[in-house]
Amino acid sequence: YVMRQRYTSDVLVIGTGGAGLRAAIEVHDQGLKVLLVGKRPKADAHTVLAAGGINAALATVDPEDTWAIHAADTLQEGRMLGDPRMVELLCQQAPQAIAELEAWGMPFARTSTGLIDQRYFGAHRYRRTCFVGDYTGLEIINALMREVERRQIPILERAYISDLLHTGNRVNGAYGFWLADQRQFMIESNAVILATGGHIHIYQRSSSRRRENTGDGMALGLQVGAHLADMELVQFHPSGMIFPHELAGTLVTEAVRGEGGRLYNRHGERFMQRYDAERMELSTRDRVALANYTEIIEGRGSEYGGVWLDISHMPASLIRERLPRMVEQFQAVGVDITREAMQIAPTAHYSMGGLKVDPFSHATNIAGLYAAGEVTAGVHGANRLGGNSLAEILVFGRIAAQHAGEYVRQQSEQPIQAAQIEQAAERLAWASQQAGDVQRSLIEQLQQVVWHGAGVVRNEQTLEASLDQLHTLRLQAQQRSVGPADLAATLDLQSMLLTAEATILAALMRPESRGAHQRSDFPATDPLWQRTIVIKPYRDQTDQLRLQLDTELIPTASEEVQAAFSQQEYSIAGRLVE
């Protein structure tokens, strides 16, 4: 018999990043009872890492800007794989999200006349990125947390959700444990919003840095029958640190290149000349990532497997003034970037795929289950524009909560069945018998497999090989091992195995190169593949979860947005920042 705590709420929000906090505020303001749960300490979710800014066509600095041009840039730069309905909603409502943040005390940078200042981000036609220095994400979390606390919304922090509970085809709660002492709890709730972030931790190098972004929300959704989309589309940032090992992948901001940083290979050649002679280091994110990757793979990289990013030709005073966080970040590892070059390599940065949701309500295909933020698919297509994610988490955090609230009001309560609770408890009992060090080592192996098989450039051979290796890792993860348990690592690995498989299968299915999805065996973009790859889970005879793939056509954009499409292949303007 397991002792467990029991909580109840009308709507449960899983995740205390920007999407989760914004959703919880909306549920509360509708007069419903809401509970927030996060596996990180509260106010320290992944969102705090976001630096550069948040987009909205406010037209404070460039009066020509409109929501329709913002939508057109997002769709075109996403190589036409984004869902126009979702993108249009995002761009129409982003200004409202900024106004809310302002009302909640967000200290936005201002123009000389006191308006909210806006700066350029890569591939935007106009300046539409609002910011607070280079710590915009942290200030968003601070502003939202103040509102959450003012409303006295309860938060369970350092609490890990391991299962969703469901009766029939309807989600009505969740099960989990406290990271501190493994005590278990269950939550009864008429609706659940997943705001658990992405899955980039399946890569050996990722800008997420810590035990987060392990794809939990996508896996929790799959387990109860929810569909995923766009899982082959993972954004790689051109520049992540490569050593020391613990910091590998940590982001080196694009502002280094924006301020004049140059890329060199081992022969001292400024290689961007060969990839994009016109824009050089200021080319688009996917192109620079591909260039860095190619130099390294073809043997022109450094001994540690990177290339050199050098800004030391600029005055030291300017570097200190414009890039203080980078100076500090490298100083801490003994590198003085005012005098020497940094070694960098591409790093997995953002999950453009995730749970497939209705573009208007952000409901999944499972009753009672909603999702918002990086855990969802639909906005970014094959290449996310910098600054769009922070807008997305606020706009769709609120929208998902609105619709979850409406749903709850129309439903009668559906008691949780004992069998569901037992199943969830059994899974934790199994996990508590697995040796933590074995599971952690399997995580590292998985990260290497995915990095090499489904990384910046993939092909049928690397993808098939990684699928085989993943299968072996899955069998090893299931084997009994002896030693102190690490419940979180064991469950993280389960989610990573599932979401890595989804990413590899979808990457195998798409026989073209488009944006972040680069296939060396299919280097061209195929117009026939302007389609979404959808992943549907099912159970085989042995009750194992299996993934089935399908494709869907993408609807056309509204006339207003089509009229705003750029005539150039892809628009580029301004300097690149995050």
List 9, 10, 11, 16, residue binding ligand FAD (CB under 6 A): 16
156 binds ligand FAD (CB under 6 A): no
Query: Cβ closer to ligand FAD: 160 or 271?
Result: 160
Measured from the CB of residue 100, what is the shortest distance to ligand FAD in angstroms? Answer: 16
Measured from the CB of residue 282, what is the shortest distance to ligand FAD in angstroms? Answer: 17
Query: Cβ closer to ligand FAD: 45 or 87?
Result: 45
Q: Which of 124, 257, 285, 362 is catalytic?
A: 257
| Measured CA distances, 405 to 53, 140, 363, 503, 524 (Å) | 30, 24, 11, 32, 45
49 binds ligand FAD (CB under 6 A): yes
Query: Cβ closer to ligand FAD: 49 or 467?
Result: 49
Burial 169-183 (b: 16+ CB within 10 A, else e): ebbbbbbbbbbeeee
Measured from the CB of residue 254, what is the shortest distance to ligand FAD in angstroms? Answer: 10
Q: Tokens standing for 279?
A: 């824009």
Residue corresponding to tokens 């855990």 = 375
Binding mask 305-344 for ligand FAD (x = CB under 6 A): ----------------------------------------
Helix boundaries (H) for 298-387: 316-322, 324-331
Query: Cβ closer to ligand FAD: 24 or 72?
Result: 24
Mention every residue, 6+ apart, whose C-beta is less than 8 A from residue 339: 312, 316
Q: Tokens standing for 139?
A: 């200030």
Separation between Cα atoms, residue 60 and residue 65, nearest integer Å: 9
Our answer to whether residue 257 is catalytic in this structure is: yes
208 binds ligand FAD (CB under 6 A): yes
Query: Cβ closer to ligand FAD: 41 or 523?
Result: 41
DSSP state of 131: -
19 binds ligand FAD (CB under 6 A): yes
Separation between Cα atoms, residue 178 and residue 161, nearest integer Å: 9
Q: Which of 189-197, 266-274, 298-306, 563-571 is the region at the interface with ligand FAD (rule: CB under 6 A)?
A: 189-197
Query: Cβ closer to ligand FAD: 95 or 197?
Result: 197
195 binds ligand FAD (CB under 6 A): yes
Q: Which of 35-43, 102-110, 317-325, 331-339 is the region at the interface with ligand FAD (rule: CB under 6 A)?
A: 35-43
Q: Tokens standing for 507?
A: 């990457």
Q: Tokens standing for 258?
A: 């924006």
Using CB under 6 A as the binding criterion, the count of chain residues that bind ligand FAD stands at 42
Measured from the CB of residue 48, what is the shortest distance to ligand FAD in angstroms? Answer: 8
Q: Quick one: which of 506, 509, 555 has its CA closest to 81?
A: 555
Helix (H, G, I), strand (E, B) or coil at 372: coil
**Under a CB-based contact definition with an 8 Å cutoff, are residues 368 and 170 in contact?**
yes
Q: Tokens standing for 99?
A: 């106004």
Helix (H, G, I), strand (E, B) or coil at 431: helix
Separation between Cα atoms, residue 47 and residue 136, nearest integer Å: 9
Separation between Cα atoms, residue 538 and residue 547, nearest integer Å: 6
578 binds ligand FAD (CB under 6 A): yes
Q: How remote is the C-alpha of 570 from its chain's centroid? A: 23
39 binds ligand FAD (CB under 6 A): yes
Q: Which of 50-58, 94-102, 223-231, 290-298 is the region at the interface with ligand FAD (rule: CB under 6 A)?
A: 50-58
DSSP state of 163: E
List 24, 32, 34, 47, residue binding ligand FAD (CB under 6 A): 47
Q: Which of 1-9, 41-49, 100-108, 263-271 is the region at the interface with ligand FAD (rule: CB under 6 A)?
A: 41-49
137 binds ligand FAD (CB under 6 A): yes
Measured from the CB of residue 562, what is the shortest distance to ligand FAD in angstroms? Answer: 25
List 12, 25, 32, 37, residue binding ligand FAD (CB under 6 A): 37
Query: Cβ closer to ligand FAD: 241 or 467?
Result: 241
294 binds ligand FAD (CB under 6 A): no
Our answer to whether residue 266 is catalytic in this structure is: no
38 binds ligand FAD (CB under 6 A): yes
164 binds ligand FAD (CB under 6 A): no
| Measured CA distances, 153 to 13, 188, 332, 456 (Å) | 11, 16, 38, 41
228 binds ligand FAD (CB under 6 A): no
Q: Which of 227, 237, 380, 403 is catalytic?
A: 237
- Residues 389-408 touching ligand FAD, rule: CB under 6 A, are 389-390, 393
List 216, 232, 254, 501, residue binding ligand FAD (CB under 6 A): 216
Separation between Cα atoms, residue 354 and residue 377, nearest integer Å: 5
77 binds ligand FAD (CB under 6 A): no
Q: Which of 12-20, 181-189, 438-446, 513-521 is the region at the interface with ligand FAD (rule: CB under 6 A)?
A: 12-20
- By DSSP bridging, strand 34-38 and strand 155-157 are parallel
| Measured CA distances, 175 to 223, 422, 549 (Å) | 13, 10, 29
Separation between Cα atoms, residue 444 and residue 440, nearest integer Å: 7
215, amino acid identity = G
Query: Cβ closer to ligand FAD: 446 or 467?
Result: 446
Mention every residue, 6+ apart, whose C-beta is less than 8 A from residue 60: 111, 115, 116, 117, 118
- Residues 525-554 touching ligand FAD, rule: CB under 6 A, are none
DSSP state of 406: H
Separation between Cα atoms, residue 193 and residue 368, nearest integer Å: 8
- 22 CB-side CA count, 13 A: 29
Query: Cβ closer to ligand FAD: 65 or 295?
Result: 65
455 binds ligand FAD (CB under 6 A): no
Active site (catalytic) residues: 237, 257
Question: Which residues contribute to the site for ligand FAD (CB under 6 A)?
Answer: 14-20, 37-40, 45-47, 49-54, 136-137, 160-161, 195-197, 207-208, 212, 216, 251, 350, 373-374, 386-390, 393, 578
